[in-house]
Amino acid sequence: MLPVATLPAAAILLRFGADDLLNIDVLEKAGGTIFDNLPIIFAIGIAFGLTRDTNNNGAAGLAGFVCHAVLTSSLKSLDAEINMGVFAGIVSGLTAGFLYNRFYKIKLPEFLGFFGGRRFVPIVTSFAAIFLAVIFSVVWSPIQAAINSVGELIVTSGGVGAFIFGTLNRLLIPFGLHHILNNLVLFSFGEFTNPATGEIVRGDLTRFFAGDPTAGSFMAGFFPVMMFGIPAIALAMYRTAKPENRAKVAGALSSMAFTSFLTGITEPLEFSFMFLAPALYVVHAILTGAAMLICHAAGILAGFGFSAGFIDYVLNFGIATRPELILPIGLAFGAVYYLVFSWAIVKFNLPTLGRYAEENSADKTSGGDDFAKKILAGLGGAENLVDVGNCATRLRVTVKDSSKVNEKILRAAGAKGVFKKGDAIQVVIGTQVEFVADEINSLRKKN
């Protein structure tokens, strides 16, 4: 998620520098530069995020840059027509991150000692990038053709394509696979030539900010859900909570609702019910698809630099098409969400926040040394951890023995959700997850 964190800055600079706002060319060009260099940013950010070497993970970012530079330059010499775009950055980051973790402790013979350890990684990464370039020079053209075909199918499917994307986007969140789908739709599907630079840009998000008048249909429908639907779910949970528990859950629910409305971050609330009431989560996914369909049918084109929250709505209002319709559509969806969730929770006695006995976690604050210690204990202690990382809201951990992970301890500490797949554990913390991950890594070093 580190590369994605640069997009809000790019969007803000681009918008404030635009003609219809401050008309400051240097700001517009500064924002455009970030979008133009997204492949490099992805290469550095992904490699940085994947490394297990918390003491010097900047070296992994350097390896990511080297891998991207060698890969793209080698590809140009092999086939000048190939342009992998953001995908080249993703591949470079993954390759560099993997090779860094594999070789950053390598020891070479004494006469080659200078090139051992971390210094060896850019060397081996360069050769790996050349190897990748040879492979992609052969296979990328059909891959790009397939991506274009799928993208064209989704785009030309109109509202149906938007509905499918919105529904799948939510359904894939429990497995962490929504990032793959998002990268395809937001950074790969569709093509537009930027009139200012002549550069070909791909993806609904990048095309939107490059001025493509047809882009934004795969982002607009998220605004009604994130600004109105998710807060309505929180209200429904509060209203259906046991009277004695309402005060306990009010703080957590209002915080999650406001976070979704303002920034578009929805996972903390979604994880609070997705495993307790999976059928209700499927309904939420379908309603998201319906919002995408309706916004597409209404001719709404809107975009975001980070997510579909109020900040991005206001910031990009001037370059959106019919953005004023998002508000009445959002209010309507908020009412539907509230009625559906209130009815379902009561009718089927679903154990959402405030309705079951172990309610102590609802009002905990996700931060601080004590919180990190409790999460660490729930994960089986420092000796049970292999590596610790995070995305926007989740702690991503690899453990030695998953049987030592105690979900009750994690939830009692304040975790909003826990997802296990073999030795890979995801703990939903919230927007403070980066600080929690840092604190856990510090505690591991002390032990």
Q: Which two tokens stand for residue 394?
A: 């989740």
- pLDDT above 50: residue 361: no
Q: Which residue has the higher pLDDT, 325 or 365?
A: 325
What distance in Å separates the CA atoms of residue 315 and residue 321, rounded to the nearest whole number?
A: 13
Indicate the pTM of the whole model: 0.70
394-399 and 417-421 as β-strands: parallel, antiparallel, unpaired?
unpaired
Closest CA relative to residue 325, chosen from 351, 344, 349, 299: 299
Confidence of residue 362 (pLDDT cuts 50, 70, 90): very low
Q: Which amino acid is at 85?
A: G
| Contact criterion met (CB below 8 Å) for 16 and 314 | no
What distance in Å separates the CA atoms of residue 192 and residue 215, rounded to the nearest whole number?
A: 9
Average pLDDT over residues 194-203: 83
Averaged pLDDT of the chain:
88
Catalytic, out of 62, 241, 308, 391 = 391
Q: Which contiguous run of DSSP H or E holds residue 247?
A: helix 246-263
Interval 38-73: pLDDT, tens: 899 999 999 988 887 766 678 899 999 999 999 999
Alpha carbon distances (Å) from 158 to 154, 162, 205: 7, 7, 17
pLDDT for 336: 98
Confidence of residue 333 (pLDDT cuts 50, 70, 90): very high
What distance in Å separates the CA atoms of residue 437 and residue 178, rounded to the nearest whole number?
A: 22
What distance in Å separates the CA atoms of residue 141 and residue 153, rounded to the nearest whole number?
A: 18
Q: Which two tokens stand for residue 229?
A: 């639907």
Confidence of residue 415 (pLDDT cuts 50, 70, 90): confident
What distance in Å separates the CA atoms of residue 205 and residue 190, rounded to the nearest whole number?
A: 10
**Number of CB atoms found within 10 A of residue 20's CB:** 8
Confidence of residue 329 (pLDDT cuts 50, 70, 90): very high
| Contact criterion met (CB below 8 Å) for 11 and 305 | yes
Closest CA relative to residue 186, chosen from 153, 209, 160, 163: 209
Matching residue, tokens 């739709």 = 185
Average pLDDT over residues 183-188: 87
Q: Which amino acid is at 38?
A: L
Q: Is 67 annotated in the active site?
A: no
Interval 230-257: pLDDT, tens: 999 999 999 999 998 898 889 889 988 9
Phi, psi values for residue 104, rounded to 5°? -70, -10
Any alpha helices (H) in 172-304, and if so which ranges?
178-187, 204-209, 222-224, 230-240, 246-263, 267-270, 278-297
Interval 95-114: pLDDT, tens: 999 999 999 889 988 888 88
Does residue 274 sit in helix, strand or coil?
coil
191-193 and 200-202 as β-strands: parallel, antiparallel, unpaired?
antiparallel
Confidence of residue 366 (pLDDT cuts 50, 70, 90): very low
Q: Which contiguous run of DSSP H or E holds residue 396?
A: strand 394-399
Confidence of residue 356 (pLDDT cuts 50, 70, 90): low
3-state helix, strand, coil in the chain (%, to 5): 65, 5, 25
Average pLDDT over residues 160-172: 93
- pLDDT above 70: residue 292: yes
Residues 6+ apart with CB under 8 A from 198: none
